[in-house]
Structure 1
Amino acid sequence: MSEKTTTPSREDALYREVTAQLVAAMRAGTAPWQRPWTSGPVHPSHLQLHPFNPVTGTRYRGLNRLKLSLSSVGRDCRWLTHKQIDKLGLCLRPGSRSERIFFWSGEQKDERQRPKTRSRQRLGEEDARRSPSCGAYWHTVYNGSDVDGLDQVVGPVEIEPPDFDVNMNVVNVLAASGANIVHGGDEACYFSALDRIHLPWRRQFRSSADYDSTALHELAHWSGHPSRLGRDLSGKFGSHRYALEELHAELASVFIAVELGVGLTQRHIDQHAAYLNSWCQALESDERAVQRVAANAQNIADSLLAFAPHRVKLPGKPYLPRGRRENR
């Protein structure tokens, strides 16, 4: 099933839908990055932040990644269109719930997410239409846990467990970034005026993974310096701007942690509790904020993962920047 968006209000409805879903999950404590344990019998919680299409290998990104991650909690990380399920000769279980995913025209995106006929056909979107008044497209996908026999046809998801020892992928990214990191004290922060990250020593954390996730969070803030991605880092503690930047950094650090094999940790729970109300207020006060947050977090993750010579093996095809894409 596919539809076209015909008015700007349809696109606004998308942002309201995702915002309501995200805020509800955060308040309930069920957002995928809030739970550093295996939350279901299907896939570990860190893979719920890695939704992908097992037929095309497409890894969903940005707002679609956030939306499907929220719907993957305790379920499969694989998502397919109805047409793909039919072509595989499989059946949906009765009562299966679909999720809408969206694509936008007029933006520099991965070609798998650009609304061109051939790209859409590779995603099983042959009947997706384009609205002349709005650059948003949507179609429906279904979770792999609702598809009987999926493992027998496409194979089970190969899972490389997170590394809770010293993670050399993170060590290499921190070193390759060239960030000025000062260790000592009992505070983790990024000083934009000095362009410097302060971190406690690794031995001061409850686990090595807690150190890694904290370092990646501060490195995400570091990416916003005017000489890099140039985000507005002037927000004061408690302000709307400050809350959004914290959410940018937290989502980005989680996206990066999945790619580098860092398990979700208690630090994510503590960070979430500290900023819960301000994050929810920031999202609810501006219905389009969720789209900007998801896009910025993905952009931060992409820029910092460029420093990663090695990543853990994850299902699906990795994102390739323009000029480095594979032939399809």
Structure 2
Amino acid sequence: MSHTTNASARGQTSQRRDIHQEVTDTIIKQLEKGTVPWHKPWQGEETKAFGLPYNSITQNHYRGINIVLLWSSAIEKQFASAEWGTFKQWADKKEMIRKGEKGAMVVYYDVLEKEEDDEIRKIPFLKTSYVFNRCQLSSYQPTNTDDTQQPKQSLVERIQTMDCFINNTQAIIEHSQRGACYSPKEDKIYMPFTEAFIDTEACTATEGYYSTLLHELVHWSGAPNRIDRAKCKKFGDQNYATEELVAELGAAFLCAEYDITSAEKGDHANYIASWLKALKDNKHCIITAASKASKAVHYLRGLQP
């Protein structure tokens, strides 16, 4: 979404706020509580709220960092719906927000026009809006949301759909003892055998396998003959952290779309610490990674018949 804007007014707005930092701080706040906002935070029907968030008027799913921001809000307030809208959008549907409710921040790019050498240059910059969840409406009753009324597919059905999705990418996947990884040199995904995965409290062994495979499939999408994402030069550099976050978020977006629970990481504390460091080192990291993750998911969807 982009709009032509008044340069002086918008310039003043951008100077007052550092939206990249605000977004990053929102995610950091969740991570410092020990919560990973791109993982399902609870069991049961409430996980419907952890599907891809969508707009109440357009029915379109949010993209990029807005998915993570709305998941963060859903986790914090334990919403049971994935449906969101602005104050005006809900009002247009004759719905009222309950008194005292606060909206969740989403961001989008606007355009600043600047004249240079007799030419108009368009400079994109971040702008914020605020949306409210269906659970924040005066009319909301836990038993009448569309989210909880939709029948849930069995795990077998969901995995069959997932198998079709993966097969349609035509990625080369080889099972071995070497663990999960994508080899750029061979352009091949290596996966452990399925029996290497075990059931956990949050996730079945089968879901653990597929969420891990989706992570590697997002890495695979970034090859030069596909999206051609910039890769890291060495382990531990900023590009490495960003690419890993791209794969994490891309897999999370796909897991939410296909209702697959992500596998838990072995060392939860170190896992969170690694993302805290990446976000604190670079306030642009999470927005950049989320945008690239959405592009990766869009590319993988484009390979479907």
Q: TM-score, with normalisation over the residues of structure 1?
A: 0.74
1:164 corresponds to 2:155: yes
Q: Is the strand fraction higher in 1 or 2? A: 2
Alpha carbons of structure 1 residues 8 and 258: separation in structure 2 relative to 1, 3 Å: same
Write the letter of the residue equivalent to 1:93. R
Alpha carbons of structure 1 residues 281 and 47: separation in structure 2 relative to 1, 3 Å: same
**What is residue 278 of structure 2 aligned with on the other side?**
282
- C-alpha displacement at 1:151, in angstroms? 6.3
Distance 1:67 1:247 in 2: 15
Give the % identical residues: 27
Secondary structure of 2:274's aligned partner: helix
Correspondence list, 1:83-98, <5 A: 83-98=88-103
Query: What do the CA deviations read for 1:38-76 (whole angstroms, capped 9, x no partner)?
Result: 27x7x31x6425111222212111122221121111213
- In the alignment, structure 2 segments of 5+ residues that lack a partner are 112-121, 199-204
Correspondence list, 1:70-149, <5 A: 70-73=72-75, 74-75=78-79, 76-105=81-110, 135-149=125-139
Alpha carbons of structure 1 residues 133 and 252: separation in structure 2 relative to 1, 3 Å: closer
Alpha carbons of structure 1 residues 228 and 271: separation in structure 2 relative to 1, 3 Å: farther
Correspondence list, 1:149-228, <5 A: 149-150=139-140, 156-157=146-147, 158-161=149-152, 163-165=154-156, 167-206=159-198, 207-228=205-226
35, 39, 51: which one pairs with 1:34? 39
Aligned pairs, number = 276
Superposed CA RMSD: 2.9
Write the letter of the residue equivalent to 2:50. Q
Distance 1:25 1:301 in 2: 24
**What is residue 61 of structure 2 aligned with on the other side?**
59
Write the letter of the residue equivalent to 2:130. T
Alpha carbons of structure 1 residues 93 and 270: separation in structure 2 relative to 1, 3 Å: farther
1:261 corresponds to 2:251: no
2:50–2:256 Cα contact (<8 Å) kept: no
Distance 1:68 1:249 in 2: 19
- In the alignment, structure 1 segments of 5+ residues that lack a partner are 107-131, 310-328
Q: TM-score, with normalisation over the residues of structure 2?
A: 0.79
**What is residue 50 of structure 1 aligned with on the other side?**
52
Distance 2:107 2:275 in 1: 23
1:33–1:268 Cα contact (<8 Å) kept: no
- C-alpha displacement at 1:191, in angstroms? 1.1
User: Could you tell which deviates more after superposition, 269-278 or 184-193?
Assistant: 269-278
**Using CA pairs below 8 Å that are at least 6 residues apart, which structure has the higher relative contact order?**
1
- C-alpha displacement at 1:90, in angstroms? 2.7
Secondary structure of 1:148's aligned partner: coil
